[in-house]
Amino acid sequence: QNRQKWSATHNTHNCLMPETQVANKRLVSFPPFKDKSGLDTFTRFLKTEFSEENIEFWTACEDYKKNKASHQLLPKAKTIYETFIRKDAPKEVNLDFHTKEVTAQNITHPTLDSFDAAQAKVYRLMEQDSYPRFLRSDMYLDLIKGREHSGHPALRRRSRSFTFNEFQDVQSDFTIWL
């Protein structure tokens, strides 16, 4: 318990925490994560780009955070690390050396936020790289058309920069949805 409190304020990835917090706030605004059909369609799109490991990692991290029993954290953390983060992992995600090292250190004594920095990096990669292409894809257009005919609210295609009042003080290098 003391370790978790300490790690939240003085951990080795403290410099990455603002980015993590911003990414977690953006999850609400990132349309593929708003509902299951959007997430499923985005996942199918990522498979066509051979980058489904990104959404699989993000989903694994979200599932990991739902753990109630602390004795389950270490084996699950090791599985996520071995599957997605270690060098030459079967579904290795694109992370810089520092983030990989911090994550490796974090899982030696895992907490629910052990993967936050890595998850934020992968999230940003999807947001800046894959998502703009998804918005131009036939899969996205089919999703929108299906929602219009089913009576569900359609996802709106974004073509300009986006801002949210709650993020006025946040600096982001991502300003334009293509």
pLDDT at 150: 54
How far is 136 from 85, CA to CA, in rounded Å? Answer: 29
> Is the confidence at residue 177, as pLDDT, over 50?
no
Give 2-6+15-167's CATH code, choosing from 3.40.50.2000, 1.10.167.10, 3.40.718.10, 1.10.490.20: 1.10.167.10
Q: Which two structure tokens, joined as six digits, stand for 127?
A: 């947001």
pLDDT at 102: 97
The model's pLDDT over 11-70, given as tens digits with 9 standing for 90+, comes to 333 333 344 444 444 443 456 667 788 889 999 999 999 999 999 999 999 999 999 899
What's phi and psi for 145, nearest 5 deg? -60, -40
The domain ranges of the chain are: 2-6+15-167
The model's pLDDT over 76-115, given as tens digits with 9 standing for 90+, comes to 999 999 999 999 999 999 999 999 999 999 999 999 999 9
